[in-house]
Chains A and B, each alone.
Chain A
């Protein structure tokens, strides 16, 4: 019997309609755990570097993780992986919701899609019965609307459905896959799904998922539950509200947006509006939010309230998560939050990434203002800011006209097509992907490394357990470190105690490159564990002092699967998957030259220090000067076959360390 995992994947060849239930190798649990780890292995084995995002050979994998469908709170992520049309690298945007547990109860760990369907289909997985069903009647329907239509058609209110909207159908490079209150947003999974002509994947499962040592698992969950309750009752003092709790940022609960509206940039990540948050705005925005929220909701098996059912006047109901309440209003320079709640409804149905998409629309406005796109290109576009955004959104989602078709590829590719001036306006990308609209003063060594090097390519999802800034007063630092069991080593507390706001022991020179490398490696490792377990990062790697951490993950995995693990061996497994992922992207051309945050991200840059940071981090990771894992590091991780491939393809030289 397999524990924690079902031991089967579903292989669906869309060209022939062949569907197979394939038993997986139990050894993979020991080498890659599950979730992202085992998915990366499949991409490595089966998708050579020549395969382009819209080639039939580009695999689209929907994966559950080890902890899904267990009593572990907040283990509800589905990791969707594919070669991204935007970055042309292996992307893995994750979604919460209810899908992955249902898949495991149907008896599968992953669904692997290959090739393309000749006609629009949706997939219906109901335990052992799996069908490709005609979806022509669903084409053009919204991503949320489609989920309910399919449940009605199947007469199964308990089916969990992941669907794309028109943006995915039209292969918009930032199209999302939507499911319940969540979405897999970043880097265009919806476009690859649309390219394969899959409108939706519906699943219903009624089978057991087995736990190796149930009583031990529940005993650990008892401890973790007590800590969740403790953290919910005791927010961390001395940090901004949004960072004080656990879960994803509680954007639906909190109404005070002074920090975001004044520190994040408006428009196409251009302008910080100091003094924006007046009493009048506070009152009006708080009112908009209170009126819009019908109920605070969560994902599967999670006690938090990171999402909300939105019932706003004039628009149909939808579900909102996190930061999307602000992104459209801020990108459009609209000072009324009602606009944010209204346009987000349409965006959810269209199925687009709420971070990239508003920036793309704002970029379109800039192209017009710069005269790169003309009045003729914008014929029929309303003059007001709100109307202009709706008009642009419709065009981009449907790839309509020159404006729509260009912007549908995102700011990087649109800029490249339009020439150097347009390219310089696409200023907020890393690895061709739009980043958080934040522009700061002083270079931060930790953030520099996270931005530059992480395979997730989205800073919003790789922040972590280390505080975002030094505490001004020693007493605050002491208060923070006195109760910090999540740290890998007690000695790290000194780094926080010594970290100052100004002076020698402040950013950009402190934490030093050596310390920064260790902290970033630790935070990244936590994310990689969550991604293998499909645990919400909001309860683990993403937030300060989370319930799940390096000292309880191994015990949970052991109780669940029977696999004997300690902190070191768990670290080695995720490090192996991390390096495999890195090598996959290296083969696609990614190297040091790409690991460069947007030029204007910080006002004060330090080119020499940045080079030192990168080199120190690479060395710490066991990567060569170009950011490619060395033969030695790959050997330590039992990845000699990867080293052979990198040598064969000329990326590593034999004998070079």
Chain B
């Protein structure tokens, strides 16, 4: 299969510089509000600072892929004297925790790197340089699957939860009601 070049966007996290202010959560939720900046809700942020203040833990984590089932990860990691659950570093929206789910609908949230902006808003508004935006090029197969949009990720998780048939019925019923 033919290879093409693709730009990978990443955010380097220097957790040692984090002062724990959670400004990144605020700006993320504001940016993704509809209309943009119309509301704030850190519970809807696609970056979350996992915090245990007295244990000196301030760990920014980004929302990643939705997954319908839990993994086996139950390990504990001790790094520099601090104990973390294996889950702490995981980006997944998964049934084992309420992280990265919209608090109203329960639908999964995913970091989109603020597509269309020069850099992600969390990077821009962190004045302590905890987050650094980086781009690098990699080679990938030409026919890679297009990434799912927010709505599709939500639909997929609902299909997992309720079954595709029920979901289709519900959509059909709703469209009938709207037409009527």
> Hey, which bits of chain A sit against chain B, CB under 8 A?
69-71, 73, 98, 101, 105, 144, 148, 157, 180-181, 205-211, 214-215, 217-218, 225, 228-229, 232, 294-305, 309, 311, 316-319
Other-chain contact of A309, B56, B103, B125 (Cβ < 8 Å): B56
Identity of the chain B residue whose Cβ is nearest the Cβ of A232 in the assembled complex:
B127
Q: Tell me the complex Cα distance, A73–B19, Å.
A: 14
A303-B20 CB under 8 A given contacts A206-B43, A211-B38, A211-B39? no
**B53: min CB distance to chain A, Å:** 6
Knowing that A209-B40, A215-B36, A319-B54 touch, tell me 4 more A-B residue pairs with CB under 8 angstroms: A105-B41, A218-B30, A297-B19, A318-B54
B42 within 8 A of A: yes
Decide: A208 and B41 in contact? CB cutoff 8 A: yes
Decide: A225 and B125 in contact? CB cutoff 8 A: yes
Identity of the chain A residue whose Cβ is nearest the Cβ of B42 in the assembled complex:
A105
Identity of the chain B residue whose Cβ is nearest the Cβ of A212 in the assembled complex:
B38
Contact with A along B28-69 (1 / 0, CB 8 A): 001001011111111110000011111110100000000000
A211-B40 CB under 8 A given contacts A71-B27, A298-B21, A305-B19? yes
Decide: A309 and B40 in contact? CB cutoff 8 A: no
Q: Tell me the complex Cα distance, A507–B81, Å.
A: 55
A210-B19 CB under 8 A given contacts A157-B51, A225-B125, A319-B53? no
Interface size on B, residues (CB 8 A): 31
B92 within 8 A of A: no
Contact with A along B126-151 (1 / 0, CB 8 A): 01100000000000000000000000
B26 within 8 A of A: yes
Q: Tell me the complex Cα distance, A300–B30, Å.
A: 16
Decide: A209 and B54 in contact? CB cutoff 8 A: no
Decide: B23 and A301 in contact? CB cutoff 8 A: yes
Contact with A along B92-108 (1 / 0, CB 8 A): 00000000000100000
Decide: B53 and A309 in contact? CB cutoff 8 A: yes
Contacts of A296 in B (CB 8 A): 19
Identity of the chain A residue whose Cβ is nearest the Cβ of B29 in the assembled complex:
A208
Q: Tell me the complex Cα distance, A143–B105, Å.
A: 36
Q: Tell me the complex Cα distance, A610–B128, Å.
A: 46
Identity of the chain A residue whose Cβ is nearest the Cβ of B27 in the assembled complex:
A71
A70-B40 CB under 8 A given contacts A298-B19, A300-B22? yes
**A327: min CB distance to chain B, Å:** 22
Decide: A218 and B37 in contact? CB cutoff 8 A: yes
Decide: B20 and A209 in contact? CB cutoff 8 A: no
> Hey, which bits of chain B sit against chain A, CB under 8 A?
19-23, 26-27, 30, 33, 35-44, 50-56, 58, 103, 125, 127-128
Contacts of B22 in A (CB 8 A): 98, 300-301
Identity of the chain A residue whose Cβ is nearest the Cβ of B25 in the assembled complex:
A301
The listed residue with most B CB atoms (<10 A of its CB), out of A71, A98, A157, A209, is A71
A303-B53 CB under 8 A given contacts A209-B40, A225-B125, A228-B127? no
Decide: A303 and B38 in contact? CB cutoff 8 A: no
Decide: A105 and B43 in contact? CB cutoff 8 A: yes
Contacts of B21 in A (CB 8 A): 298-303
**A123: min CB distance to chain B, Å:** 20
Other-chain contact of B39, A101, A209, A232 (Cβ < 8 Å): A209
Q: Tell me the complex Cα distance, A541–B37, Å.
A: 27
The 7 closest A-B pairs by CB, nearest first: A214-B37, A303-B127, A206-B103, A206-B43, A208-B39, A298-B19, A208-B41
The 9 listed contacts between A and B (C-beta, < 8 Å) are A105-B41, A105-B42, A144-B54, A206-B103, A214-B35, A301-B22, A301-B23, A304-B19, A317-B55
Contacts of B127 in A (CB 8 A): 225, 228-229, 232, 303
Decide: B26 and A211 in contact? CB cutoff 8 A: no
Decide: A73 and B23 in contact? CB cutoff 8 A: yes
Q: Tell me the complex Cα distance, A319–B33, Å.
A: 34
Interface SS of chain B: helix, strand, loop or mixed? mixed
Q: Tell me the complex Cα distance, A311–B99, Å.
A: 30
**B32: min CB distance to chain A, Å:** 12
The listed residue with most B CB atoms (<10 A of its CB), out of A217, A295, A316, is A295
Contacts of B52 in A (CB 8 A): 157
Contacts of B43 in A (CB 8 A): 105, 205-207
Q: Tell me the complex Cα distance, A69–B33, Å.
A: 14
Q: Tell me the complex Cα distance, A302–B36, Å.
A: 22
Contacts of A69 in B (CB 8 A): 26, 40
A295-B56 CB under 8 A given contacts A214-B30, A228-B127? yes
Q: Tell me the complex Cα distance, A217–B33, Å.
A: 14
**B126: min CB distance to chain A, Å:** 8
Decide: B39 and A210 in contact? CB cutoff 8 A: yes
Contacts of B19 in A (CB 8 A): 295-298, 302-305
Contacts of B53 in A (CB 8 A): 180-181, 297, 309, 319
Q: Tell me the complex Cα distance, A132–B142, Å.
A: 60
Contacts of A217 in B (CB 8 A): 37
Contacts of A211 in B (CB 8 A): 30, 37-40
Identity of the chain A residue whose Cβ is nearest the Cβ of B103 in the assembled complex:
A206
The listed residue with most A CB atoms (<10 A of its CB), out of B26, B35, B40, B52, is B40
Contacts of A311 in B (CB 8 A): 56
Q: Tell me the complex Cα distance, A295–B15, Å.
A: 11
Other-chain contact of A214, B36, B125, B128 (Cβ < 8 Å): B36
Q: Tell me the complex Cα distance, A189–B80, Å.
A: 39
Decide: B56 and A71 in contact? CB cutoff 8 A: no
Contacts of A317 in B (CB 8 A): 54-56
Identity of the chain A residue whose Cβ is nearest the Cβ of B16 in the assembled complex:
A295
Contacts of A210 in B (CB 8 A): 38-39
**A177: min CB distance to chain B, Å:** 17
Contacts of A73 in B (CB 8 A): 23
Decide: B38 and A301 in contact? CB cutoff 8 A: no
Contacts of B36 in A (CB 8 A): 214-215
Contacts of A297 in B (CB 8 A): 19-20, 53
Q: Tell me the complex Cα distance, A126–B23, Å.
A: 22
**A414: min CB distance to chain B, Å:** 34
Q: Tell me the complex Cα distance, A616–B145, Å.
A: 77
Q: Tell me the complex Cα distance, A297–B22, Å.
A: 11
Decide: B23 and A303 in contact? CB cutoff 8 A: yes
Identity of the chain B residue whose Cβ is nearest the Cβ of A559 in the assembled complex:
B37
Contacts of A181 in B (CB 8 A): 53
Contacts of A304 in B (CB 8 A): 19
Identity of the chain B residue whose Cβ is nearest the Cβ of A76 in the assembled complex:
B21
**A248: min CB distance to chain B, Å:** 13
Identity of the chain A residue whose Cβ is nearest the Cβ of B54 in the assembled complex:
A317
**A472: min CB distance to chain B, Å:** 34
The listed residue with most B CB atoms (<10 A of its CB), out of A229, A298, A301, A318, is A301
Contacts of A157 in B (CB 8 A): 50-52
**A321: min CB distance to chain B, Å:** 13
Other-chain contact of B40, A208, A294, A299 (Cβ < 8 Å): A208
Q: Tell me the complex Cα distance, A303–B20, Å.
A: 9
Contacts of A232 in B (CB 8 A): 127
**A558: min CB distance to chain B, Å:** 15
Contacts of A218 in B (CB 8 A): 30, 37
Identity of the chain A residue whose Cβ is nearest the Cβ of B50 in the assembled complex:
A157
**A136: min CB distance to chain B, Å:** 24
Contacts of A101 in B (CB 8 A): 42
Q: Tell me the complex Cα distance, A73–B40, Å.
A: 13
Q: Tell me the complex Cα distance, A317–B41, Å.
A: 31
Contacts of A319 in B (CB 8 A): 53-54
Q: Tell me the complex Cα distance, A296–B56, Å.
A: 10
A309-B54 CB under 8 A given contacts A105-B42, A105-B43? yes
Other-chain contact of B41, A209, A214, A300 (Cβ < 8 Å): A209
A298-B26 CB under 8 A given contacts A211-B37, A218-B37? no
